[in-house]
Amino acid sequence: MAGSIDAGPVVTTLGSFVFRLASVSALMTKYLSVSIGRPLPGRRTLVVTRQVGWSHADVEVAHSVPEALTLAGPAPVVFVAGGGQVYAEAMPLATDLMITEVPLEPDGDITFPPIDPALWREASREDLADRSYVDYVRGADSQAS
């Protein structure tokens, strides 16, 4: 994947997606793309699907996370919006995690992979009444902000 992740992709939960980064490449599953209903404004949208022949106006289609990262080229940030399998495949490549924590336990079968404290350090946290924005950086030598 040389050249596809110059600054490393950033992995995040969808809750902060629209608010925290604009004008970056967004990587998501076909299911998430269809549920949003349109390409995200101001972003290059990369959609991963196993469905050969699927296309949608104004999105770029890949059939794996590595293929999507190759499509992204030397983008400084690739913002991973999910779903679960995409998170799991992209997380080992990530250098930063931008997580939105919400105090809910909704029903569902798609989850974000566990954040291993041996690999990730909390760099910053913003606690709001209904959610927290938490940034993690990879590596034991990372300094909290």
- Tens of pLDDT, residues 98-129: 888 888 887 888 778 899 999 999 999 999 88
- CATH code of the domain made up of 10-138: 3.40.430.10
Q: What is the DSSP string of 18-32?
A: HHH--SSEEEEEHHH
Task: Read off φ and ψ for residue 72, nearest 5 degrees.
Answer: -65, -25
Q: What is the mean pLDDT of the chain?
A: 79
Q: How many CB atoms lie within 10 A of CB 78?
A: 28
Q: Write down the pLDDT at residue 10.
A: 41
Q: What pairing do the DSSP bridges indicate for beta strands 96-101 and 120-127?
A: unpaired
pLDDT tier, 53 (very low <50, low <70, confident <90, very high otherwise): very high
Domain parsing of the chain, residue ranges: 10-138
Round to whole Å and give the CA distance between 129 and 138: 27
The model's pTM is 0.73
| Alpha helix stretches (DSSP H) within 2-78 | 17-20, 30-36, 65-72
Please compute the mean of the pLDDT values over residues 68-97 and round it to a whole number. Answer: 88
94 alpha carbon, distance to own chain's centre? 9
